[in-house]
Amino acid sequence: MSQSKKQVHRLAKGGRIDRSRTLSFTFNGQSYQGHPGDTLASALLANGVDIVNRSFKYSRPRGIVAAGAEEPNAIVQLGSTEAAQVPNVRATQQALFAGLTARSTNGWPNVQRDLMGLFGKLGGKFMPPGFYYKTFMAPASLWMTYERYIRKAAGLGRSPMEADPDTYDHLHQHCDVLVVGGGAAGLAAALAAARSSARVIVADEQEEMGGSLLDSRETLDGKPADQWVAQVVKELAGYDNVTLLPRTTANGYHDHHFVTLHERRTEHLGETAPLVKGRRQVRARMHRVRAGQVILATGAHERPLVYAGNDVPGNMLAGAVSTYIRRYGVAPGHKLVLTTSNDYGYRAALDWKEAGREVVAIVDARQSPAGDWVEAARAQGIKIITGSAVIEAKGGSRVSAARVAKIDIDAFQVSGPAQELACDTIASSGGYSPVIHLASHTGARPTWRDDILGFVPSLVKGVHACGGANGTYALGEVLAEGVEAGIKAAAVTGHAAPAVSLPQVKALKQGPAAPLFQVPHEKPTLRAPKQFVDLQNDVTAAGIELATREGFESIEHVKRYTAMGFGTDQGKLGNINGMAIAARCLGRPIPEVGTTVFRPNYTPVTFGAIVGRHCRDLFDPERYTALHQWHVEHGAEFEDVGQWKRPWYYPQTVNGKVETLHEAVARECSAVREKVGILDASTLGKIDIQGPDAREFLARVYTNKWEKLAVGKCRYGLMCKDDGMVTDDGVTSCLADNHFLMTTTTGGAAAILEWLELWHQTEWPELDVYFSSVTDHWATMTITGPEARKLLAEITDIDLDKESFKFMEWRAGKVAGVPARVYRISFTGELTFEINVQANYAMHVWQTLFKHGEKYGLTPYGTETMHVLRAEKGFIIVGQDTDGSVTPEDLGMQWCVGYDKPFSWIGKRALTRSDTKRENRKQLVGLKPKDPKVVLEEGAQIVFDPKHAIPMPMAGHVTSSYYSPTLDSGFALAVVKGGHQKMGETVYLPMADGQTHEAKIVSPIFYDPKGERQNV
């Protein structure tokens, strides 16, 4: 059998396909052939594939209906390998390539004959709207079980189970004028804007630009329309100020003319992106466009008529029939009946006839149609049945006949006897719906126009609609509107466009369309054979009528009850028909039933394009200190603190076994308490504060006093928000009279700098002070433990004598030959020196410390050990022991509050509120578990009476809890109601596993309560 015979519906000539080359592809396991220029849909039609899916709810066979983004049925799963799986691809928008492998999305287990078909036929009657809500929601516990089978049977596509081999990225674009749509209106607009020298981006979702001009019967300047397209595209491509993006869908229109364009760069070439010169290409790219002005030239979707059996394969949109014939050289049948409410539909019959196929009849709902195309059809000898419509399509797996009868639109009834016309294809046209989706995304409600029987977009400032998107369909007017929009948009952005001379278009004479949506049947809607409104979600006219009878009046409710428009096609074909039916049932005009709101995305977008390169090790920034490599090389496990990677602990291999966290932390803690440990503290926020009012400013943002802090001294500071709750803490040092260095928590650094700027700029601009972040400039190495002084003394010129360099002081000098500021402050309770050097020298200083530190047992420790050591001392960590509801007094830190400071510092007033003054607030205490082996769970709830009936009154919770090798016991910090007055009392911690732990309230300072060790 020759190939041309295999492609049974392929015409001998015509179409924009390359017949010199043949491409093989696979659909549902069967091999077929098509040509470059085909879509998967046109190739399937060429091969006579009638059934491409099973329907969502009733499992009815479905065929291709449309030729573009609005296709509801031909939804396929692409991919020959697991990794290449792509769900929910519209066959009408997928270019054919050699080796393409596709399966029906619906139709488990088999599209031709499936088990669900039986269920569908039996169950159909029993599946009214709201069926799922009514049937499967109770008992709720079984929904998960139902859902699995419903999903599998309904077929919503599936995601790949293997990693995607492709890459995707983003491109930030800016332009004066974004033109969405490269059809007649869009190209005219682009041409005008481009000639003004404005920066223009043209995005078009199809394989090639031109839109409806690619299959138009009309001529421009007496030449085929596609010649004008080629000429315009060539001119646009020659401009530096124009970016042409074919295969690019404007999928979302966000605030401030931020539009996301989804460009499919290689999906027409193969299922994974081919290499170019050995380098990868991105499969899809998201253009994140910030546009000055946006022109919506998105065209219009043809509306099908709603009649009985309108879902049987062989029922198609009239315009799609024309497109397949003229653009793809495919006539998807032999005998056509056209049912239409308007002149445009006639095109399909004319094209069909010219393709050498039989037009059985044109059935026109209007009594006396008149117009150029009507006359052309008459001249061709095509039979026209007026005042009538196809009321029912007959056939199972393919249309076999059309039942045609006179209808009375106003009375909504069949007004004459039906005749049956044998045919295999029924094309229908109920007029056009402007593609208003993107305008809807901006929040603008569309407006109904009776003259065009459709919604046109309302436009926010800076948006222009032209052509079909604006309800303008006559080609000459479409072009003129496009040019006008282009000139206007460019002008707003400051670019004057020269005149654009438009090609000559012969104006078509057309008669008015009939307002026909649902076609009446002899039987009432509820008893007639199914009349489908939303093919993808199996919503029928009867379903909508039933919904209105059950009391749903707003179209938003009807949609949700029936699921109309909730498929991946968002009801592009069905929504307006559905609204018209609801309006008819409710006896109200269409716009009163509501408008339809579309949301991003216009068509499904692959997650890859949304994510771009923000994945894997580029998912989020990882911030490293200057010593990061050393930590990596020494086997550190890392903890995320904000975006920083901080060494968590350094497991060592002891006797061939890698230490656990617990073992490593015990070893690190002992090293600090007994010898000397070293911590990379570079991540702490550091803010350089300069100015004559720096000291006054500190006094206002910290709770404690700063007026007497002398040069060379350091002080711990506590910061509250204006609600009196602790927000940050850290040590601030006086570098000079007008110069301080503030340290903040690692996670709070950026927010605190903003906080300081906020108060300075908005409340106290009269204070002369400046803040600059120097966090990254300095590397901070904390050496702590009894041997710290001896170690440091070996490599510094600073006098470390305890009398000349006291606790809470800083000195400048050299450490390991590097200029350093050394701060004698302590977060461990041990003798501590924090060595700060310019970060580029940090590695040298760190390594020098280790060279000298071995004999002192210098041990690197991480954040976990730091946490244990500070908790033993009762030092809080803001954000762990506090949660935004804790005052300094709750923490027992009255010593750190300057109640009598002259200026009302941030939070002071809030601390006198009745709520912050009341007794029984949760207060920070220590907890000692009765069983020393128990390490309480952080977050565990505390109760006073474990025998109390559930729900027990909660008395507080554990904020920090560790095992202390020094105490050889578990210990915890906790907040407990009235805890400061309950020292020595016992509390209980009932756990999820049924155990109840017992603990004693103690001072939060577990170790060296007098602070002698850090003062040595």
Partner 1 sequence: MSNAATFDTRTDSAIPVESPLAYSYRRSGAPAAGPESRVTLRERALLGQLVLRGGAIVLDEAVREVLGLGLPGEPQGLVQDERGERSIQWLSPDEWLVIVPGGEEFELETRLRERLGDAHYAISDVSGGQTLLELEGEAARELLMKTVIYDVHPSHFPVGRGVTTVFAKATAIVRRPSEERWELVVRRSFADYCYRWLLDAGEEYAIGVVR
Residue ranges binding partner 1 (CB under 8 A):
169-174, 199, 277, 279-282, 288, 290, 613-614, 617-618, 620-626, 628-629, 644, 683, 688, 690-692, 711, 735-739, 768, 770, 772-779, 812, 814, 816-819, 821, 837-844
For residue 56, the minimal CB distance to partner 1 (Å) is 39
| Residues β-bridged to residue 686 | 743
| Residues in CB range of 284: below 8 A, 6 or more apart | 166, 168, 262, 263, 264, 265, 266, 267, 606, 608, 609
Q: Residue 237 or residue 812: which is nearer to partner 1 going by CB?
A: 812
Helix/strand/coil (H/E/C) assignment for every residue in 272-310: CCCCECCECCEEEEEEEEEEEEEEECCCEEECCCECECC
Q: Residue 328 or residue 778: which is nearer to partner 1 going by CB?
A: 778
Among 147, 129, 157, 148, smallest CA distance to 537 is for 129
Task: Please state the length of the chain.
Answer: 1016
Q: Residue 445 or residue 852: which is nearer to partner 1 going by CB?
A: 852
Q: Residue 109 or residue 692: which is nearer to partner 1 going by CB?
A: 692
For residue 624, the minimal CB distance to partner 1 (Å) is 6
Q: Residue 526 or residue 736: which is nearer to partner 1 going by CB?
A: 736
Q: Residue 188 or residue 752: which is nearer to partner 1 going by CB?
A: 752
For residue 356, the minimal CB distance to partner 1 (Å) is 48
Euclidean distance between CA atoms 759 and 961, whole angstroms:
36
Place of tokens 């579309």: 598
For residue 384, the minimal CB distance to partner 1 (Å) is 56
| Contact predicate 183/300, CB 8 Å | no
- Per DSSP, the three-state class of 812 is strand
Q: Residue 262 or residue 921: which is nearer to partner 1 going by CB?
A: 262
| Contact predicate 903/700, CB 8 Å | yes
3-state helix, strand, coil in the chain (%, to 5): 25, 30, 45
For residue 652, the minimal CB distance to partner 1 (Å) is 23
Q: Residue 151 or residue 614: which is nearer to partner 1 going by CB?
A: 614
Type of residue found at 476: G
Work out the widest C-alpha separation in the chain, in whole angstroms: 115
Among 866, 997, 873, 912, smallest CA distance to 720 is for 912
For residue 640, the minimal CB distance to partner 1 (Å) is 13
| Residues β-bridged to residue 362 | 338, 384
Residue 919 region by backbone torsions, left for phi larger than 0, else alpha for psi between -120 and 50, else beta: beta
Q: Residue 773 or residue 941: which is nearer to partner 1 going by CB?
A: 773
For residue 174, the minimal CB distance to partner 1 (Å) is 4
For residue 688, the minimal CB distance to partner 1 (Å) is 4
Q: Residue 402 or residue 818: which is nearer to partner 1 going by CB?
A: 818
Q: Residue 690 or residue 941: which is nearer to partner 1 going by CB?
A: 690
Place of tokens 């015509």: 14
Q: Residue 300 or residue 816: which is nearer to partner 1 going by CB?
A: 816
For residue 639, the minimal CB distance to partner 1 (Å) is 15
For residue 648, the minimal CB distance to partner 1 (Å) is 18
Distances 324 to 46, 249, 393 between C-alpha atoms, Å: 9, 21, 21
For residue 644, the minimal CB distance to partner 1 (Å) is 7
| Residues β-bridged to residue 229 | none
Euclidean distance between CA atoms 214 and 184, whole angstroms:
10
Residue 551 region by backbone torsions, left for phi larger than 0, else alpha for psi between -120 and 50, else beta: left
For residue 636, the minimal CB distance to partner 1 (Å) is 14
Q: In the structure encoding, which two tokens stand for residue 779, read together?
A: 């590397």
CB crowding 660-680: b at 16 or more within 10 Å, else e: eeebbbbbbbbbbbebbbbbb
Helix/strand/coil (H/E/C) assignment for every residue in 536-588: CCCEEHHHHHHHHHCCCCCHHHHHHHHCCCCCCCCCCCCHHHHHHHHHHHHCC
